[in-house]
Amino acid sequence: MMTPAAEPVLDIKGLRTVFRTRGGELTAVRDVDLTIGAGETLALVGESGSGKSVTSLSVMRLLTRNVGVIAAGSIRLRNKQGVVSDLATLDDRHMGAIRGDDIGMVFQEPMSSLNPVLTIGDQIAEPIRIYRKADRRTAMRKAVALLESVGIPDAERRVRQYPHELSGGMRQRATIAMALACDPVLLIADEPTTALDVTIQAQILELMQRLQRERGMAILFVTHNLGVVAEIAHRVAVMYAGRIVEEGPVGTVFRDPRHPYTQGLLASMPRLGEATRMRQAGEQLAAIPGIVPGLTRMPAGCAFAPRCSHAIAACAEAVPALETVGAGHASRCIRWREI
């Protein structure tokens, strides 16, 4: 993997995102700090409902208007020219100039992000025509080159096809090509391999790694799959109930997890060759009891305490601080030394 640059491309500090409802404000993302350097991949991991996608949508400013609101914090992005802007405070016009140009996004299900009545070529060419002021012919030539760069064969023909005419893997490759059309400094990938079979998933991960090496872009990779994290990321941030509960280099966190939630996620991963042995021994795959708490019933203190086998009375008294536990490694647990 490429060694990340020291100066961050994305620097998030104290991000708090709320949803305004009839019953009042519900906090979905709580005091999140994240940084990603050029050429670096940060994986944001957690169960459904942990706040991962809301964090990525906050960065893109794609929250439902007048419902999802960035209530506090800063989201500083360094663009291609080296100019730093706080995305949390930009007006819609300036944010629109950044979205699709300096930031690209790949969504989980390509059929929901691709327009079914426009050809693949027209959709890839659109940001090139908008941000690069290219004419249609030039933009379409660039679209063909982008499809070739993401490994789609016979690109000259594919640009004239519609999304339903492509396989799932090809559609996801096309959405990656669209996200990369204007050479973004940051790519946000929100569960981009979840809907794909394991063979295509491996191909997409290899593709993203190659494109990152070639372009030097930063990647925020949102996933619940720790196997994918081990494959693609430099660092991992584990999220639970809207907060980062552990963060560090992937190898360090996987070898020496210092938060019970991270330990539970790792223990619940199936391991190659273990299925037969476990079946013969009558063993079951480990699981974390309970579910992620809803926004309306957030427990006091540590949100993971009701599901945690290490919890003590003090865990419910206050939200633990994110403490440094090693080089570049932090955990939000008052018992991390014992664990």
pLDDT tens for residues 25-73? 999 999 999 999 999 999 999 999 999 999 999 999 999 888 999 999 9
Quick one: pLDDT at residue 313? 96
- Among 74-83, 274-283, 321-330, name the one with the lowest average pLDDT: 274-283
Domain's final residue, options 157, 181, 205: 181
Domain's final residue, options 237, 271, 305: 271
Q: Are residues 177 and 193 in the same domain?
A: no
What six digits make up the tokens of 180?
């990369």
Query: What distance in Å separates the CA atoms of residue 43 and residue 250, rounded to the nearest whole number?
Result: 9
Quick one: pLDDT at residue 276? 66
Quick one: pLDDT at residue 214? 93
In a domain, 159, yes or no: yes
What six digits make up the tokens of 210?
């190659």
Among 270, 267, 263, residue whose Cα is nearest residue 308: 263
What six digits make up the tokens of 274?
């273990």
Quick one: pLDDT at residue 285? 76
Q: Are residues 5 and 91 in the same domain?
A: yes
Beta strands in 230-333 (DSSP E): 235-240, 243-249, 323-326, 329-331
Phi, psi of 44 (to 5 degrees): -105, 115
In a domain, 290, yes or no: no
CATH number at residue 9: 3.40.50.300
User: Are 206 and 213 a contacting pair, CB within 8 Å?
Assistant: no
> In whole numbers, what is the pLDDT of the chain averaged over residues?
92
Spacing of C-alpha 274 from chain mean position: 29
Q: H helices within the chain, ranges in order?
A: 52-60, 92-98, 110-113, 120-131, 136-149, 155-158, 168-179, 198-215, 226-232, 250-255, 260-267, 274-281
Among 316, 320, 314, 315, residue whose Cα is nearest residue 332: 320
In a domain, 328, yes or no: no
Quick one: pLDDT at residue 3? 43
User: Are 191 and 224 a contacting pair, CB within 8 Å?
Assistant: yes
User: Are 108 and 190 a contacting pair, CB within 8 Å?
Assistant: yes
Instruction: Tokens 């926004």: give the residue.
Output: 295
User: What count of other Cβ atoms lies within 10 Å of the Cβ of residue 25?
Assistant: 12
User: Are 59 and 90 a contacting pair, CB within 8 Å?
Assistant: no
Q: Are residues 119 and 210 in the same domain?
A: no
In a domain, 47, yes or no: yes
Q: Are residues 138 and 82 in the same domain?
A: no
Among 227, 189, 243, residue whose Cα is nearest residue 211: 189
In a domain, 333, yes or no: no
Q: Are residues 69 and 217 in the same domain?
A: yes
**Domain hosting residue 175, numbered range:** 103-181
In a domain, 219, yes or no: yes
Domain's final residue, options 246, 271, 296: 271
**pLDDT tens digits, residue range 128-176?**
999 999 999 999 999 999 999 999 999 999 999 999 999 989 999 999 9
Residue, of 275 and 267, whose pLDDT is higher: 267
Split at pLDDT 50, 70, 90, the class of 275 is low
Split at pLDDT 50, 70, 90, the class of 5 is very low
Q: Are residues 174 and 192 in the same domain?
A: no
Amino acid at 305: A
Q: Are residues 88 and 115 in the same domain?
A: no
Split at pLDDT 50, 70, 90, the class of 12 is very high
pLDDT exceeds cutoff 80 at 21: yes
Judged on CB neighbours under 10 Å (0-12, 13-18, 19+), 137 is exposed
In a domain, 282, yes or no: no
pLDDT exceeds cutoff 60 at 2: no
From residue 83, give the alpha-carbon distance in Å to each of 77, 102, 137, 185, 220: 8, 11, 31, 12, 20
Query: What distance in Å separates the CA atoms of residue 44 and residue 21, rounded to the nearest whole number?
Result: 26
**pLDDT tens digits, residue range 226-256?**
989 999 999 999 999 999 999 999 999 999 9
Q: Domain tally for the chain? A: 2
Q: Are residues 26 and 164 in the same domain?
A: no
- Range 272-287 average pLDDT: 71
Split at pLDDT 50, 70, 90, the class of 280 is low
Q: Are residues 75 and 197 in the same domain?
A: yes
Query: What distance in Å separates the CA atoms of residue 129 and residue 136, rounded to the nearest whole number?
Result: 7
Q: Tell me the longest C-alpha to C-alpha distance in the chain.
A: 67
Distant-in-sequence, close-in-space partners of 206: CB < 8 Å, separation ≥ 6: none
pLDDT exceeds cutoff 90 at 112: no
Quick one: pLDDT at residue 181? 93
Quick one: pLDDT at residue 193? 84
CA-based torsion, 161, 163, 165, 167: positive or negative: positive
Q: Are residues 58 and 131 in the same domain?
A: no
The residue count for the chain: 339
Q: Are residues 84 and 201 in the same domain?
A: yes
Parallel/antiparallel/unpaired status of strands 41-45 and 235-240: parallel
Spacing of C-alpha 70 from chain mean position: 18
